[in-house]
Amino acid sequence: MTPPHKTIVFDLDGTLVDSLPDIIASFQYGFVSMGLPAPTDEEVRPLIGHPLEAMYAHFVPAHAASLCVIYREHYARNFVNRSRPYPGVVELLRTLRERGYKLAIATTKRTDMARRFVEALGMMPAVDYVQGTDGFPHKPAPDVIHRALGGLGRAEGLWMVGDTTHDIQAGRAAGLRTYAVTWGNHDAELLATATPDELQPDLGRLLEHLPPLPRS
Ligand SMILES: [Mg+2]
């Protein structure tokens, strides 16, 4: 039997893609369209990475379900207005693949939306599998990581790379080493509380950990 594919799992929003401005804009649009006072960017930002309904429920529990419907409709039309891969990300993914690794995305976005988003950014060819969270426990539970690895067939997860403590907790729960980047949603101080194996301002150390695999 061939050995399992050595696989790196990445969070999407705030890790690979600077998508926060579009997410925040669509989140606030929901309030405006219902005539409710919209929270500020600073109020929304710490909640990103939680399921959408929980984010809205934080502000207006009675309207959370309706706001989710409005958000999804608006976000689907505006999700790449300002969203771009972080500098160096596309090159990093290419290098890891050239070295023989499989690459998976494990996100709290729903799978259909996540795949459309990755596609719209032109990043689909850069990864092997995109797994969203569709009605099962979200990060920090490890389920989305298990499913991402399962989607690749025989896959051995090596590292989970993310920008929040939820990513780090989920990665550890799935048995992966964990790599926190400091350019996303949680700052270095908060990320340190989750004790990732690496806490870095860039992805250089990831490449150091992952030398080219022997060709089989
Ligand atoms: Mg994230």
Answer with the one of 78, 97, 121 that is the final residue of a domain: 78
Torsion of CA 19, 23, 26, 30, to 10 degrees: 180
Q: Is 187 a catalytic residue?
A: no
Same domain? 180 vs 131:
yes
Please report how many Cα atoms fall inside a 13 Å half-sphere around the Cα of residue 88, on the Cβ side. Answer: 9
Q: Is 167 a catalytic residue?
A: no
CATH at residue 9: 3.40.50.1000
Q: Please identify every residue whose CB atom is under 5 Å from ligand 1, which is an ion.
A: 11, 13-14, 49, 163
The catalytically annotated residue of 11, 22, 163, 167 is 11
Answer with the one of 46, 78, 110 that is the final residue of a domain: 78
Q: Are strands 17-18 and 84-85 parallel, antiparallel or unpaired?
A: antiparallel
Same domain? 106 vs 204:
yes
- Tokens standing for residue 114: 């996540």
| Distance between CA atoms of residues 105 and 85, nearest Å | 13
| Distance between CA atoms of residues 63 and 40, nearest Å | 18
Same domain? 99 vs 119:
yes
pLDDT in 10s for each residue of the chain, 216 residues: 778 999 999 999 999 999 999 999 999 999 999 999 999 999 998 888 788 999 999 999 999 999 999 999 999 999 999 999 999 999 999 999 999 999 999 999 999 999 999 999 999 999 999 999 999 999 999 999 999 999 999 999 999 999 999 999 999 999 999 999 999 989 999 999 999 999 999 999 999 999 999 986
Task: Provide the residue range defining the domain that includes 202.
Answer: 5-18+84-209
Radius of gyration of the chain measured on its C-alpha atoms = 17
| Domain membership flag for residue 216 | no
What is the value of pTM for the model shown?
A: 0.92
